[in-house]
Structure 1
Amino acid sequence: MPNQVEDKKKILLRVRKIKGQTQAIEKALEDNVECGAILQQICSVRGAINGLMNEMLEVHLKDTLVSGETTEQQRKEELAEIAKILKSYLK
């Protein structure tokens, strides 16, 4: 969870945009919109999800590893957890 209010607002805004994009895909499917247009919307959602991941990762690293409020052992454990998450995400 982002520690800074501004970070949380930015991330929530991204999530809400993604929600709108996925709802648009659903509507397009219901309205029998051509496949090419739907595929383009899916590409947009994928890009938005990647942006969300980047933003959240940056905030998490800043809040957890850079803040100075964690011990060296906690930072090592957190780094291992982040590496595990990234490996899963990049599959």
Structure 2
Amino acid sequence: MSHTIRDKQKLIARVRRLRGQIEGIERALEAEKPCGEILRQLASARGAMSGLTAEVMEDHLREHVLQAETDAERRQGGEELIEIIRTYMK
């Protein structure tokens, strides 16, 4: 069983909180709130997204690299993570 399936409810709850934060930013923009308030909300949403990303990356590393059953699976899991990190860093 994949770690995203095993932790599905926890991950979905985090995504829903993120959605709420993004909707809050939209409401703040619609209401013409001060830019400082909007920037704080943006920073909070970015932190939440980074935390979710780090959690899924860590779980991927643990399950698909550290606990892989074969060298081929370990190599594939590592290569996937390298590709994702490159995309993430752009």
The CA RMSD over aligned residues, in Å, is 1.5
Fraction of identical pairs, as percent: 39
Q: Looking at both structures, which has the greater relative contact order when contacts are Cα pairs under 8 Å and sequence separation is at least 6?
A: 1
Residue 16 of structure 1 aligns with an amino acid whose one-letter code is R
8 Å CA contact 2:64, 2:73 repeated in 1: no
TM-score (norm 2): 0.86
Deviation at 1:3, TM superposition (A): 3.7
TM-score (norm 1): 0.85
Q: Name structure 1 gaps, 5 residues minimum.
A: none
TM-superposition CA deviations, 1:14-50 (whole Å, max 9, x none): 1111000000000001111111100110000110010
Q: Name structure 2 gaps, 5 residues minimum.
A: none
8 Å CA contact 2:61, 2:77 repeated in 1: no
Report the number of matched residues: 88
Partner of 2:53: 53
Q: Does structure 1 residue 27 correspond to structure 2 residue 3?
A: no
Deviation at 1:9, TM superposition (A): 1.8
Deviation at 1:71, TM superposition (A): 2.0
Deviation at 1:65, TM superposition (A): 2.6
Distance (Å, rounded) in 1 between the aligned partners of 2:77 and 2:83? 10
Distance (Å, rounded) in 2 between the aligned partners of 1:56 and 1:48? 13
Partner of 2:86: 87
